[in-house]
Amino acid sequence: MRLSLALLPLLFVFSFALFGNLVAEERTVLPGVVVGVVDGDTADVRLASGMIRIRMHAIDAPESGQPYGGNSKQALSSLVFGLTHLDTDNSTLQGVASISLWAGLLLVGCYLLTRRLWLGIGLHAAWNYTQGTVYSGIVSGNAPPTGLWVSSVEGPDWLTGGSFGLEASPVRGVTVRDSAFRGVTKGSRLEHVEDLVLRHVVLAPAQ
């Protein structure tokens, strides 16, 4: 488990490098919405013409049910969450990478711990509301709203997050890193225990 979590940053760096090469070339773009992650290299996408299942090119991640299959699915879920912020007004690579690495893993951990979406949705909404509506801050590269108080962050862009906002700041990443890794680690252990119990119930001979 510790080894797989340690390799997640390398997976993200490789994925963003691959993504950068792809967008640099002229290709036909089919706009769609990712509606589900199957495993570490496969996702379900809804296009205007209907649903399709796509597999990432040149990536062969462990399948669900294989060793580290759950971790690869968590990594792709976090990456998809980060890439959804590419079309914001002031999107930056640092911001998308930061959201994928820390916010994505934190929300994945929320789901693994509760097996429900409400905790992750509530945490995400609370962050955006507090940063934007309360402190008038930039939220994920969008124009700052007029909130209850007007706040300002000073310093170099790489430290403050620049035009993308505090989500791109490494300070923010450090503050949520432990919570994200603890949530994913503990949630994965619970998932493993549930899988063992299910196998025992299914494979146990009838009394």
- From CA 173, how far away is CA 120, in angstroms rounded? 17
Backbone angles phi, psi at 58, to 5 degrees: 65, 15
Cα separation of 11 and 58, whole Å?
13
The percent of the chain in helix, strand and coil, each rounded to the nearest 5, is 60, 10, 30
* Chain mean position to CA 65: 21
> Residue 129's pLDDT is what?
92
Rounded alpha-carbon distances, angstroms, from residue 27 to 23, 30, 45, 57: 8, 10, 18, 14
- Domain residue spans in the chain? 2-203
pLDDT of residue 21: 53
Q: Tell me the residue type at 184.
A: V
Give the separation between CA 33 and CA 31, rounded to whole angstroms: 7
Q: Quick one: pLDDT at residue 156?
A: 92
> CB count, 10 Å around CB of 168?
29
Who contacts 190 (Cβ-Cβ below 8 Å, separation ≥6)? 112, 113
CA distance 53 to 43: 6
Tens of each residue's pLDDT in the chain, 207 residues: 444 454 555 555 555 555 555 444 556 777 888 888 888 888 899 998 899 998 888 888 888 777 777 778 888 888 888 888 888 888 888 988 888 888 888 888 888 788 888 988 898 999 899 989 999 888 888 888 888 898 888 899 999 888 898 888 888 778 877 777 777 777 666 654 444 443 444 444 444
Q: Where are the beta strands (DSSP E) in the chain?
A: 32-39, 42-47, 50-55
Distance CA(201)–CA(178), nearest Å, equals: 35
Q: What is the pLDDT of residue 11?
A: 53
Sheet containing 50-55: order of strands: 32-39, 42-47, 50-55
- In the DSSP assignment, the letter for residue 88 is S
For position 101, what pLDDT does the model report?
A: 83
Nearest to 17 by CA among 58, 60, 61: 58
